Structure 1
Amino acid sequence: MRAAVLKEYGEPLEIEEVDEPQVTPDGAIVELEACGICRSDWHGWQGDWDWLGIQPQEGQILGHEPAGHVIATGENVTEVSEGDHVAVPFNIGDGTCIQCRTGHGNTCENVMPLGFVEQVQGAFAEEVHVPAANHNLVKLPDGVSSTDMAGLGCRFMTAFHGLAHRADVGAGDWVAVHGCGGVGLSAVHIADALGANVVAVDLMDDKLDKARDLGADEVVNAGEVDDVPESVKDLSAGSADVSVDALGIATTCQNSVLSLGTRGQHVQIGLTTSDEQGMVQLPTDAMVMQEIEFIGSLGMPPTQYDEIFRMVQTGKLNPSAVVSETVALDDVSDRLASMTDFETVGIPVIDQFA
């Protein structure tokens, strides 16, 4: 099968013929119809995250936002069958640890991030093998397209979990979203659907325009104001109630925290780059005095996808609205390169693999 393979950090992925995956007793093979190209793939392509122990090595197939149809299942798989239309969450759990068994599979004690470690080759390929398929595969509702659902592998579901489960977003709350890439734009749309007022922050006007289309009530171009947190406060009736760092650099993290008022909640979704290597200075005294919460949020448990699907069915959420373009597997390196200068808007999705 054809796959895009990492050979050297920062260099174009090589499109190669590789062996088709073989199904394991607990696994399933999914034939890919769509796979998002995520900024996390960019991090892996750059060689980031060695400090987390998930730095992809030479020969890795990247890609972690897949959707498609099951074409083979192992003898122990009972929850999905050949022909089922599925999405695959990026945070592959083993299905047996205490976190998985208590509904927190996104923080599995033996988590294997899809496309970042050798044990789970990624979905920039015609087929992908999914271990512990009973636990990890999510059946999609009837009538949806794989392209529209690709963001459910990572960015859309990550934003949903952060706002709907980890933070306490209520109707009329002010939510600030710092960084309007794929996960940030998803957060804007989801916060709006949850009844919040939204301030979107970015450096690029085209991304802010897209944020308005997705429900942002106010926008801040961070390159055109002297003080981003004060600008957010001015636009949000004094301060944000919930603020999201959807990018993961020191500036967006600090601005997010400083945008909050008393008992505000900061949600950290973006992971850091090689500049920060996981460490960011924070205004801890202000956080103590104002009882500000710092909340980490990783992916979403597979058991909670039905919440998204119910909101999709009633028209409150539209994951396809964040999809910006469809491309071929051969174009993946160009899209990754464009992310270096933050040139992509929304979620680019591969829908041509052969």
Structure 2
Amino acid sequence: MSIQNNSGDTAKYRTAAAIVGQALTQATALVVPGMSAAAICTYTDKLLETLCASVFRKETTERGVAFPTTVSANRIIQNYSPTPEDDYILREGDVVKIDASAHIDGYIASAAHTAVATNSPSDIVTDRRADAIAAAYYASEVAAHMIRPGQSARNLVKALGLVASGFGCTVAAETFTCQIDRFVMSGKTAFANRFDPDILVPDVTFEAGEVYTIDCTMSTGSGVARESAHAPTVYQRDVHHQYSLKLRSSRGLFSEVCRRYSVFPFLMRNAIGTNNALKAGVGECVRSQLLVPFTVTADKEPGDTFVAQFKATVMCHHTGPIRLTHALPMPNVRSSTDIPHESEIGQILALDCEQAALPELPRLKNQVPAPIPSQHPNHNAAATSMDIS
């Protein structure tokens, strides 16, 4: 679907981008030692829902969270939105990735940012955490600059690999650049950002009117993703699959999911609510492929491995790329690696990349209360599992 001549569609993309930007800014401010990852996720999702409800109020359109907020620390790559029982309390020095997404009438904007949990924000991080964060940040900038008519997916993947190797990092597996469409988070064009000699990068070029989300995730380790010890909490309906469920609990759960959620992913704990009997139906719904879980993955390398992420939503305009979700300032890090202006990556960064003019959001009458960090950040029941043994 081309949006270049439809100002209404563009306005909804921009509004969703403004909402995600405000929520991500406020969520990033919560990245301090002692803060609960679950609390940040809950707060950000509530803020997204509240902001979405405050716009286009004369239209009876669907709007809200397009993918539940995730807060993944250190070696965790993606999809960690913990239950209170599986929570993680941030610790001094943690590399924390916050990924947020919202939609207005099915027009989606997604963004992610990495911050370092610290009580001394003026201190400059110079170790391997800096390499991962800088690599992910500049990879995101490079990718955004390359979403222009005639540029190819293969060149983009090559450029991301160059950025990663320059900082002594690797592109994390199972992270993608996806064309998005109305109510579709992964459209007709989607490809892995990590080069794999066994998987051919599609021979496609970007076209004016397309919109992409670019997930640039870098690791100081191997970048190879494996299933973590954390159970999935994010699920999505497979609207193309049908099955006659046998268990009463499964039928009840799936009925509740269909009633409350459309095509977008959701948190299972929200679907179950206080009806604990529905938990017994999760297994059959997954086995029958009616519900698809999003696995919480981590870098397979043990030890001090750090993963950083930056994500952007970019429109391919006939004049060049237009970045819908604005980048937040890079954390206070200093890598030993520089990008020379005359290098291939430096030349890409020198290209034009327009920042979209985003609408001013209404002031909320009822503010969403922000969570408060724990007074005992070292008492962390989930610390071992978050580090991934």
TM-score, reference length from structure 2: 0.25
Computing the radius of gyration from Cα coordinates, the structure with the larger value is 2
Higher relative contact order (CA 8 A, sep 6+): 2
